[in-house]
Structure formats: structure tokens, C-alpha cells
Structure 1
Amino acid sequence: MTTHSPQSAQRDHGLTVADAMETCDYQIADDSTVDRANDILHSAHVEYLLVRDHNGRCEGLVTRIGLRPFLARSWYTERTAISATSHQRGPFAWPTMGLTLAALAMRIKRLAVWPVVDDDGYILGVLTADRATGVLAAAPA
């Protein structure tokens, strides 16, 4: 059985999450309602929103699929805060993390999108599984 440490993952290609992360323009406060999140998801034609807490730090990520149970009853969506939903929460990726390690973690956790935060927990962007795979595939061996 082979084990991988963060150091060996970074040596594989020398790539980090910062090399593959993308900006995320769509965020929502954790005290916003499910109804508001649904409106943003549909109007922006996006599959996910980053959720930030009252201090502006990353709290998680909410998806259209994750909101489905709450959208079944319209009165519920008007009163339910995003913080009360079950959505993807930390730990999150950080920009200096080895890209190979991050891609492995995403596969294990079955994540299509992973928020990337700085040392203080503020949102820097997102890492998508497709982007991580593409960058690693294009890297010289």
C-alpha cells in the first residue's frame, strides 16, 4: 500500500491549488433565505454559491441539488436561512496545498467544487474537479 504525504504530493508536479483555482463571483450570506439563494442560482445560471458568515469568512458551499428538499414547500423557503440547510462545509482547500493532494481529497470526498480560503478563512476562489484534473494532465511528467 502506498501512502501520500503533502510533501510528496507537491513534488509530483510542483503544482498547487493556486495554479488551478478559479474565481467565484457568486456568494451569499449565511443568514440569507433559501428562496434568495434559489433566485440567484437561477438568474445567474450557476450550480453553486459560496456561503459566507457574518464576518465575511467562508462558511461553505450550497448547490441547487442541496436546496431541493427546501424548495418543495414555498412557505419554507421564505423562512429558512442558508445556515439551517445541510450544505458542504469545511475543511476547505488552501492555495499552497499540493494540487495532486487536493485532487485526491476531492475524489475521496466526492466533491465537484471545493472552496479555497486564506489562512484567516476568507474566500479566495474555488477548485473544481475538472480544472484540477485538466491542469494535472497538462503538467509535464
Structure 2
Amino acid sequence: MTTHYTQPASHGLTVADAMEPYEYQIADDITVDRANEIFRGAHVAYLLVRDHNGRCEGLVTRIGLDPFLTRSWYAERTALRDTAHQQGPFAWPGMALGLAALAMRIKSLTIWPVIDDDGYLLGILTADRVAGLTGRQPLGRPA
């Protein structure tokens, strides 16, 4: 059996070519209860979390907060930094898009923060955007 490798359509593209801006960031010391209010008000699926220095710390989803919201006293006292949420390493702008696509598939990521050399958020990389540029289907979708 012979296997042939074909060069992906993303040859030469980097994460910088595919990343998108994202506005919704919250501090890691925000309580779960307050983050839940932001989710409801902003109508977004995820929020990017930054540390006390403003650097990207991770990404939290509304579904990820559900275990903490079952008891109001727990949600009122638990900071986001104390929850289980997506954390680094993150993508960087000069990373090859094909490599980023592979990393996202391996880590089962649909959203991946893109940071600069100092850890500050530059944007996000989405599985849909990567699929559009590389020709590969995003996670959870049939080819």
C-alpha cells in the first residue's frame, strides 16, 4: 500500500492570517456568579480570561461554569481562576496555520486564543476559520 502526502492548502499561511478579533475578556478574579451575568448579558458562548497583569490566562465557557452554579454560595465566592477552564499554551501569530490546525484537532479545540510574545491577547483562532483556509473540516463535523 502506498500512501501519498499532499501539501495542505494552508501552505505558507500563519495564524496571523486566520485570527479574528475578540472583545469579551474578563479578569480571573471575577466570581463565577458575575461571569454568568456577563454570559447572559453578552449572549456569547465563551469569555477570555486575563490575569491581574492583563495577560491571557485562558478561556471559560458557560457550560464549564454549570457545576459551580448549582449552589449560589459557591458561585458567589469562587473566582474564575479557581475553576477548570481551557488554559495555555496558546497559539502565536507566526505559527504555521497547518500546525495550528493539527494542534486544535489533537486538543479538541474549537476556539484557541492567540497571544503575543508577552502573553497579551491578539485575537482568537476558530476551527471554522481554520477549516475555511485549510480545507479541513472543523471538529465534530463530518468530512
The TM-score range, normalised by the shorter chain, is: 0.7 to 0.9
Paired residue total: 131
Alignment of 1:56-75 (within 5 A): 56-75=54-73
Structure 1 or 2: more helix by fraction: 1
**1:10·1:99 contact (CA, 8 Å) conserved in 2?**
no
CA distance in 2 between counterparts of 1:73 and 1:128 reads 32
CA distance in 2 between counterparts of 1:122 and 1:12 reads 25
Deviations along 1:57-108, one digit per CA (max 9) or x if unpaired, are 0100001111110011111111100000000000000011011110110000
TM-score of the aligned structures, taking structure 2 as reference length = 0.86
RMSD: 1.9
Segments of 5+ residues of structure 1 without an aligned counterpart are 3-8
Aligned residue identity for 1:69: P
CA distance in 1 between counterparts of 2:114 and 2:8 reads 17
CA distance in 1 between counterparts of 2:42 and 2:103 reads 28
Segments of 5+ residues of structure 2 without an aligned counterpart are 137-143
Aligned pair in 2 of structure 1 residues 38, 30: CA closer, same or farther (>3 Å)? same
Does residue 91 in structure 1 map to residue 89 in structure 2? yes
TM-score of the aligned structures, taking structure 1 as reference length = 0.87
Task: Report SS of the residue matched to 2:98.
Answer: helix
**1:10·1:101 contact (CA, 8 Å) conserved in 2?**
no
